Amino acid sequence: MKLYLDRVPSPIGAILLVSDGEALRALDFEDYEPRMQRLLRNYCGRYDLTQGVRSGARQHIAGYFDGDLTALDTIPVQTGGTEFQRRVWAALRQIPPGSTTSYGRLAAKIGAPKASRAVGLANGANPVAIVVPCHRVIGADSSLTGYGGGLPRKAWLLRHEANACAGRSAA
């Protein structure tokens, strides 16, 4: 499989975008590139990764960081994964910007109320961070829990969205 890698600057570090030319296959942070490579092998099998922009995701990502929280909504993604993982990831895309949910509430939403641990594992295996907003899932006690890009980035993303939402409602 031929994949294309683009590096995009962001306020929370360089972001790696991997596309197949039609859909985004991975989004991760430059300092987590080995994790991204592992997820790509799991979900895509063998692949050839070439430097080059092959998606419009770069502009959408820039828009998101500029405060347009809906900029990510139309980015097509192709994640691979199990049927359960894809259900979790689809549910993640339904969490509105500026909102959070818990693993238990997300499990109930997908019809598997006793599967909060499995939801957590699927959340952690999300290959398309930010676009599939796994950062919006927090602990049942409202604490920040794991994030593949690190808890400081998760906290930043949640603050960014809260601030952008507050700015919209004040307008």
Catalytic residues: 134
Residues 6+ apart with CB under 8 A from 58: 6, 8, 17
Phi/psi for 36 (5° steps) reads -60, -45
Q: How far apart are CA 59 and CA 39, in angstroms?
A: 24
CB 26 within 8 A of CB 39: yes
